[in-house]
């Protein structure tokens, strides 16, 4: 109940930021369109990265806007996990809503050339990983400008790094790239498996770190009186 209320209010707050919503949609669309003429695979891989960037940025800002309010909520009966899980659920929901029209776009544009189910899975994993990653950056770097720059560095690296280089495996959005490759290049199932495992592990790790940081930041340092 408490988690759902936090999630509901986070979604309401985000939906009222019209400009943010427009940019959330514009960013992946721009990524998709800019490579559409080259190669189907590249445009879809860029689209996945665009979705991940948009969702992680939204999560970062949601984290920033709730930071000053959370201590009061903590004192009003919420536990730390109500707050970060509620926000995470809201960002996942919002991310899926953002991804849905792009899935329709790919299905119409290239539905006959790709494994469309795997494209959907890659989008789901983009969102799944991006939401806790954005919250994690928000928890580690409290100022929004610095957080945005960190995200820019991460996404820039992800774009420029040689896909054959093993260092790509430590980048946050490698999972959607692998699942995306499986979807557009019709590679073997090992790409899908690797992507799923990486995505799950990264999501769990990022969520665990968010939990750890939030719990530490929002711990209440009071001694309860013992009854006489």
For another protein, the closer CB: 13 or 185: 13
DSSP state of 141: -
CB 208, min distance to another protein, A: 24
Closest CA to 57 of 15, 23, 86: 23
Provide the terminal-to-terminal Cα distance of the chain, rounded to the nearest Å. Answer: 34
Specify the residue, 71 or 156, whose C-beta has the smaller distance to another protein: 71
> Whose CA is closest to 105, among 32, 171, 54?
32
Query: What string of DSSP letters covers 14-36?
Result: HHT-HHHHHHHHHHHHHHHHHTT
Token representation of residue 205: 């790790």
Q: Find where tokens 């950056």 sit.
A: 137
The whole-angstrom separation of Cα 36 and Cα 225 is 65
Contact string (CB under 8 A) for another protein, positions 39-68, x = contact: --------------------------xx-x
Residues 66-95 binding another protein (CB under 8 A) are 66, 68-69, 71-78, 82
Nearest to another protein of 82, 177 (CB atom): 82
CB of 215 to another protein, least distance (A): 14
In this complex, which beta carbon is closest to another protein, that of residue 45 or of residue 82?
A: 82
Task: Tell me which DSSP letter residue 169 carries.
Answer: G
User: What is the pattern of x (binds another protein, CB under 8 A) and - over residues 9-28?
Assistant: x--xx--xx-----------
Which CB sits closer to another protein, 9 or 29? 9
Binding region for another protein (CB under 8 A): 1-2, 5-6, 9, 12-13, 16-17, 65-66, 68-69, 71-78, 82, 220-225, 228
């Amino acid at each position: 109940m408490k988690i759902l209320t936090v999630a509901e209010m986070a979604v309401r707050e985000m939906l009222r930021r019209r400009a943010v919503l427009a940019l959330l949609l514009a960013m992946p669309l721009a990524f998709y369109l800019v490579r559409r003429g080259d190669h189907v695979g590249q445009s879809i891989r860029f689209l996945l990265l665009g979705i991940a960037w948009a969702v992680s940025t939204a999560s970062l800002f949601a984290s920033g806007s709730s930071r000053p309010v959370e201590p009061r909520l903590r004192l009003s009966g919420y536990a730390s996990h109500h707050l970060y899980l509620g926000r995470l659920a809201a960002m996942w929901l919002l991310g899926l809503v953002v991804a849905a029209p792009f899935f329709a776009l790919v299905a119409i544009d290239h539905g006959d050339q790709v494994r469309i189910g795997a494209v959907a899975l890659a989008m789901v994993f983009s969102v799944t990983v991006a939401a806790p990653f954005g919250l994690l950056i928000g928890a580690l770097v409290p100022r929004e400008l610095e957080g945005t720059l960190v995200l820019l560095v991460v996404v820039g690296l992800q774009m420029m790094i040689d896909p054959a280089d093993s260092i790509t495996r430590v980048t946050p959005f490698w999972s959607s790239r692998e699942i995306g490759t499986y979807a557009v290049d019709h590679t073997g199932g090992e790409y899908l498996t690797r992507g799923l495992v990486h995505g799950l592990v990264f999501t769990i790790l990022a969520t665990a770190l968010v939990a750890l940081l939030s719990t530490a930041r929002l711990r209440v340092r009071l001694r309860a009186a013992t009854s006489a």
